[in-house]
Structure 1
């Protein structure tokens, strides 16, 4: 099953399941939004792999006048986003493979959440170069992502800890098993490798702002 079909199948349940599947959800998104510090009140923001628009909704709580472009391949996930932002004329939704998105303007910020880890390593590195080119000077890139450990030992540890929390959640057996199937499509990369790619792309300020086992918030400033 492809990434697109997997997420099409779960679109209606996606947001409801987030707290159970992301044990650190509050801090994970909280740190990302806390560090999206922009100098204008109505920034132009690009959300790559936007899904249902959950990350963009958090952005709008901080910047209610933001103009956000959401890009995702999954039509059903974007259908949820369209309902979410139906009354907001500042939201532009595009159904497209986000790795091929080039855009016609520069953005104050590019954000992504739980999407880039579905790409092969070369595609990730190429995407970081594209994102750098899409940002205005001093623009910010924030990637709230799932990552691999720095060794197989830590990757196994992360997986064990995550599964323990999922098993203890309020999800039913069918939903838990479905989540295990989805992560088989993941192609996670260690934080250290991704930080190097961001620096190689040209970002002058790069760091991992938050990490909880395999959940990390990566930051780059142009």
Structure 2
């Protein structure tokens, strides 16, 4: 027998799923729209662009010259491009919800046969392989907090022994005051960057879809997922590079 309470819970759950699906569809649309301009905009939307990406790669250290690397929310393959400089023999799997963003990645890596592409929502996708590294840049902050926790758990399960996770992402300020300060400084930077006004306004619209969590929250979620050596290896206002390692 199904009780009224159970029906209500199921209806509520289905309603929540529809909201999340609608949000992810909006994320996909926004990034489809900027797929061709994404890379050229990055340096102007990220004040610490060079350090942000280079330091992410600097700690991407494993004991293999040809590691298996999973790039979740890979977009145009920008993070993977930096990783390929360090590991030219690596095998890459790039997954993203936006096919148009991955089309840019396919063009970028057209001469590299060691790259696979998956058009899917990585928070729901069923992976079958294991990886030496799970990497992500500027993607996980689009997930709700519970989804963030789950993707950290999923990433842990996908890693081989001594595998590493690196998440280069946006984080929410430690306090409301710090959050306001971080965003104020960021807006000042991009408004002085030379970007056309329409691109700046489009960027402001995209950040309405962000679901940032604090750095401390995410450090704790990584530990709860099983990671050791959890650390923030770099932070510049609301941009942070998080690290974790699987030892068993």
TM-score by length of structure 1 reads 0.99
Aligned to 1:175, which of 195, 199, 209?
199
Residue 84, structure 1, aligned to residue 108, structure 2: yes
How big is the shift at 1:102?
A: 2.8
Q: How does 1:3-82 map to 2 (within 5 A)?
A: 3-82=27-106
Equivalent-residue separation in structure 1 for 2:203 and 2:129 (angstroms): 36
Equivalent-residue separation in structure 1 for 2:186 and 2:231 (angstroms): 24
The CA RMSD measured in Å over matched residues stands at 0.8
How big is the shift at 1:182?
A: 0.5
How big is the shift at 1:38?
A: 1.1
Equivalent-residue separation in structure 2 for 1:9 and 1:122 (angstroms): 27
Q: How does 1:126-137 map to 2 (within 5 A)?
A: 126-137=150-161
Equivalent-residue separation in structure 1 for 2:127 and 2:145 (angstroms): 23
Q: Matched residue of 2:100: which SS?
A: helix
How big is the shift at 1:151?
A: 1.2
Q: Matched residue of 1:15: which SS?
A: helix
Q: Matched residue of 1:70: which SS?
A: strand
Contact 1:36 1:142 in 2 (8 A): yes
Equivalent-residue separation in structure 1 for 2:237 and 2:228 (angstroms): 26
How big is the shift at 1:101?
A: 2.4
Matching residue of 1:160: 184
Q: Deviations over 1:107-133 (max 9, x none)?
A: 000000000000000000011000000
Equivalent-residue separation in structure 2 for 1:54 and 1:204 (angstroms): 27
Matching residue of 2:226: 202
Equivalent-residue separation in structure 2 for 1:11 and 1:105 (angstroms): 28
How big is the shift at 1:185?
A: 0.4
Q: Where in structure 1 do 4 or more consecutive aligned residues deviate above 4 Å? A: none
Q: Matched residue of 1:217: which SS?
A: strand
How big is the shift at 1:204?
A: 1.3
How big is the shift at 1:100?
A: 1.4
Equivalent-residue separation in structure 2 for 1:217 and 1:164 (angstroms): 22
Matching residue of 1:138: 162
Residue 150, structure 1, aligned to residue 174, structure 2: yes
Q: Deviations over 1:140-174 (max 9, x none)?
A: 00000000011111111110000000000010100
Contact 1:150 1:191 in 2 (8 A): yes
TM-score by length of structure 2 reads 0.88
Q: How does 1:104-123 map to 2 (within 5 A)?
A: 104-123=128-147
* Bigger Rg, which one: 2
